[in-house]
Structure 1
């Protein structure tokens, strides 16, 4: 059932790229984009420009001269790579940490990067999907989790605390109960709001399904190539499984990690790859992951050789066991190990999670000093430390920018005149990020003329100090900055409280909307939803020339159950039938309760022959399932009518009528059977109303 993430509209606290990142997404939507405007946008963010140049040079595998300008870097990387880099770097810069105590931000970004790098390498090898697009899709596949941690930090943190190490599918069920939506659906909603390809959105949703692709409900009308979608989905699923091993504990005697490693052999068929080739590819991913982790500041972990571990398991006779890995694996923190890059990706993204100390009353205010004069650093640092402040130092603006983004000081004190990047430029760059916008910036200058002071404030400085300075004046200005920070945090606390209320409203709205479309007894989608969804699938099938079939199911002699055992037993039977149908249906099928003892199954992108087999599987499962409750101790049976959309049908009413007529034949032919529309002579009695299911 399609569920809207109203928090996208109701709050402003979702993980989101910066203004520059969003502008680049907009500019690079099509191949016919304004290259000069793209360069101007990149140049407006010096930190992003530096990463673009660094990545372009790191991806140079052909021995070409290093690029020196943003324009050269964009030409070398290409539109899709620039789009991915900008999205990832600007997204991560402001989402490295947060308030959800039990959401592991480090683990999230390390796994996201490992998955993205793996999928990028897989795409290069398989050559079925654009590597840059695959990287972006894989990086953002779980962004819904980050959204929950951002919008519902306390509730989501409690959910994770109470269910440590829970597999993704089980986590999604808990999320659905708690928030009325799961992280797969939220990921798709966020991708849609950023204007990312519909294919990405579908992959995000289809990751929640273990069977093949149907047609999930997604915004947008453009058609998506199923083969490309399946290939991308396969790469993302495979990349995630490899990434779990890569970021795991690398302890062969750990049953959980060992199971995950051994299950990699299952990927060979999906990827059409020999096992040894897969291991070589995995070993090629390791240095690439570490290299890009180093470039963009993401903590990576010790990783050994996949081939060596496989040889060890072969020696132990474990490879033939083909153990199945748990869905998720936790890993201990292991120091990073330096390795040289072997399989260098053409592109990759920035992300970065480090613990934020916070600004609690019991913790000292963190101050970053940036000055190319080491003597001045020591002098200012001495006075500040003596007052009990935590002091970080940097001798260049570039180093100061990296420390500021990594450790988020509350106060930045920077010299004005420095090589490479001045204090003014450093201030302006930081102000473009959410992290930098919250810092209190004090500029230190040897000049105090009016023009310079105005320029400092225009660049985003909060205060200034003129050299030589009085230490008492310095401390007084820092204390004034502390008061401003405390006032701002009170306002932010109030705003967080308001946003929590708004977020709760979003949950309530979603649950009310779901309740209106859900059958309370069976918890299946109800008749209203069934008809709405069937009309959507009808239009999609017409537009794409894909088949569409439906199965109408009716419990045989259900009235006698109610008459002989009571309505409470009848309710149990309905619930058991609903659960059994769910358990034996395909992931792409849409199962609904129409009312009474009747159910409808919408078989998306399915012809009548396949639908007939699916119906027989459901009939057989119900016939075998014994229901025991209050003296009732037997199975019930189903009669099922199958029909496929045909050119002569004008509306969904005609499709429902055809399946209803087939169901009537099944009933008249002795019940407990499947009948297909058009394959048997159908005679409708006077009491049979073929329009009773019309929308």
Structure 2
């Protein structure tokens, strides 16, 4: 991280005992998992003492298994699917959520914090299922805890932090991170990353949390795992905002989500569908965790053009093409003008002049209505009094300029007197022109023509941008399809060796960090060459497809299988010892043997041979693991085929015999 926290300072905070920390079952889980020899049975016994955590754990596990798979219904199955590190971090996150739902920091919205954290968790999980930058269950935990530094500061310094939050809400230009650093000699991004590291989360996760909380992109190379994880967490944060913002602002945030998602290679259709899935999952998790979650309409609704047929909008009658007062733009695209003025006479005069000139007009008496109409009506030009009933012109213009729609509006300020100070104030706040009251019709027409020229240029730019976005979306779809073709075997539907190698490398790294076991199987169809030679390649292809389906049926939901050769398959078994891998391979072998393989009029009996290997001191990398599995397969072939073998098991047996002799 570019700005790490002072470790001595962090140790002092830990020693104070005031930092948010796990309690109850979560604390017991974290303590018992400090021992390398912790068993699933012991962990399950601890978890059973908290029925609420049991339900949350099973819900998380069922969210990861594929369709048409047996649902997880027991703690043991959930532990197998999730893995021990994810269970540990989930226990931590759920414990913090339970014990820190409220506090004494008056300006800190605890309910909103946990709703946003839960949304970020679900969104990060959904993104990682597609990017494969990290295990989905681990990114769920990362999303849930990535902004824990804010909760920590609210817990440590409730009064001081409340004052800081109030100052930020009072002035949008104030930077919260800078205020935190000046007040506490650290900010929430640094503190949160330090807490995650102290709780044992991997460096890549703490880096992503830091950059997301601080709003920085990091220095990781584009396309690297670190870069994708940072980008994914940023997109997840935007997705959370799109669910929590009010209806008026959701469209604006959703467009930011789509733009950010495109940088990860996702087109508009995929991102919109993902937002809908996240909103549904958020609702389910919210009910389970007692966190505020609202039912939302389909996000596609917010991407449509807004309906402009509202009561406060008046359209001009069609103006003949030859009429001298018609605006310069095409008749099919009349200029839209919003008049925001409390004085009825001025507003009526402006409306009549605009309607006579052929423009569509909307009216507002106050700033609130003007802001609402600006988002609904989407005017090209806005005539606004510099002082309305409820807001000043400076505040209204600044508010509009913060929105995507408001940045494109040509704003004309109407003032009682045009002084030098007022002109400077208006232009610095974002106004495009200033007119004195009462409005001079000739000056108004001149401003309208200027607005027409700018609107025309803006429309051309938007058209070009839309073409670029469309091209980028098509390119993203093509790239994704090419990636799928590059990583998948078209005959069996299994991943190919390239995908398997990358996935095995990721799992090897996770296994290195956590000390979890890892096993690999190599499977080969017995006498497959003779099937091709005797019946032809069409029959051989049919046999491969049916045997592949039987292999998949015999494996567990979290095992990863790939076709790596003509009749050769590799299987990665996370969190699996050698003995468990042999049992898994035997189950696959018997499933294939029992399967009825039909090719036309042929009914064939197909068998497989398999070799198993597991990570140990003698297996130093992924290549060595695959080589040991290959040696086990060769041994199974030598022993007569249709069987499972492992040279590692033979080594253990020989070592035991040598010790006994």
TM-score with structure 2 setting the length: 0.52
Counting only pairs closer than 5 Å after superposition, residues 589-668 of structure 1 correspond to structure 2 as: 589-668=559-638
2:374 matched residue in structure 1: 404
Counting only pairs closer than 5 Å after superposition, residues 106-505 of structure 1 correspond to structure 2 as: 127=98, 135-136=115-116, 138-139=118-119, 185=129, 199-200=142-143, 221-222=204-205, 345=292, 353=302, 355-357=304-306, 362=332, 364-418=334-388, 420-505=390-475
**Alignment partner of 2:623: what SS?**
helix
TM-align CA RMSD: 5.1
Partner Cα separation in structure 2 for residue 219 and residue 641 of structure 1 = 32
Q: Which has the larger radius of gyration?
A: 2
Partner Cα separation in structure 1 for residue 122 and residue 418 of structure 2 = 50
Deviates more, 1:452-461 or 1:362-371: 362-371
Q: Tell me by how many angstroms 1:541 deviates.
A: 0.6
Higher relative contact order (CA 8 A, sep 6+): 1
- The change in CA–CA distance for 1:539 and 1:369 in structure 2 (over 3 A counts) is same
Partner Cα separation in structure 2 for residue 543 and residue 660 of structure 1 = 26
Given that 1:365 and 1:410 are in contact with CA atoms closer than 8 Å, whether structure 2 keeps it comes out as: yes
1:517 matched residue in structure 2: 487
1:276 matched residue in structure 2: none
Deviates more, 1:358-367 or 1:401-410: 358-367
Given that 1:142 and 1:184 are in contact with CA atoms closer than 8 Å, whether structure 2 keeps it comes out as: no
Partner Cα separation in structure 1 for residue 582 and residue 481 of structure 2 = 34
Given that 2:544 and 2:567 are in contact with CA atoms closer than 8 Å, whether structure 1 keeps it comes out as: yes
- The change in CA–CA distance for 1:576 and 1:354 in structure 2 (over 3 A counts) is closer
- The change in CA–CA distance for 1:622 and 1:133 in structure 2 (over 3 A counts) is farther
Given that 1:292 and 1:349 are in contact with CA atoms closer than 8 Å, whether structure 2 keeps it comes out as: no
Given that 1:191 and 1:200 are in contact with CA atoms closer than 8 Å, whether structure 2 keeps it comes out as: no
Partner Cα separation in structure 2 for residue 489 and residue 28 of structure 1 = 46
Partner Cα separation in structure 2 for residue 221 and residue 624 of structure 1 = 45
Residues 248-290 of structure 1, C-alpha deviation per residue, up to 9 Å, x if partnerless?
Answer: xxxxxxxxxxxxxxxxxxxxxxxxxxxxxxxxxxxxxxxxxxx
Residues 324-379 of structure 1, C-alpha deviation per residue, up to 9 Å, x if partnerless?
Answer: xxx9999xxxxxxxxxxxx9959999999485248996465443322333443343
- The change in CA–CA distance for 1:625 and 1:368 in structure 2 (over 3 A counts) is farther
Residues 168-209 of structure 1, C-alpha deviation per residue, up to 9 Å, x if partnerless?
Answer: xxxxxxxxxxxxxx97756888999xxx98723999xxxxxx
User: Unaligned 5+ residue runs, structure 2?
Assistant: 10-92, 102-110, 147-200, 208-242, 252-273, 278-289, 309-329, 655-661
Given that 1:565 and 1:632 are in contact with CA atoms closer than 8 Å, whether structure 2 keeps it comes out as: no
Q: Considering fraction of residues, name the structure with more helix.
A: 2
- The change in CA–CA distance for 1:189 and 1:608 in structure 2 (over 3 A counts) is closer
**Alignment partner of 1:489: what SS?**
helix
Partner Cα separation in structure 2 for residue 190 and residue 391 of structure 1 = 52
1:44 matched residue in structure 2: none
Partner Cα separation in structure 2 for residue 608 and residue 366 of structure 1 = 72
Q: Tell me by how many angstroms 1:491 deviates.
A: 2.0
Q: Tell me by how many angstroms 1:582 deviates.
A: 3.7
Q: Tell me by how many angstroms 1:467 deviates.
A: 0.9
Q: Tell me by how many angstroms 1:599 deviates.
A: 0.5
Counting only pairs closer than 5 Å after superposition, residues 6-25 of structure 1 correspond to structure 2 as: none
Q: Tell me by how many angstroms 1:543 deviates.
A: 1.4
- The change in CA–CA distance for 1:396 and 1:496 in structure 2 (over 3 A counts) is same
Partner Cα separation in structure 2 for residue 584 and residue 366 of structure 1 = 65
Given that 2:340 and 2:367 are in contact with CA atoms closer than 8 Å, whether structure 1 keeps it comes out as: yes
**Alignment partner of 2:558: what SS?**
coil
1:679 matched residue in structure 2: 649
Residues 102-130 of structure 1, C-alpha deviation per residue, up to 9 Å, x if partnerless?
Answer: xxxxxxxxxxxxxxxxxxxx979982897
Q: How many residues align?
A: 413
Partner Cα separation in structure 1 for residue 649 and residue 560 of structure 2 = 24
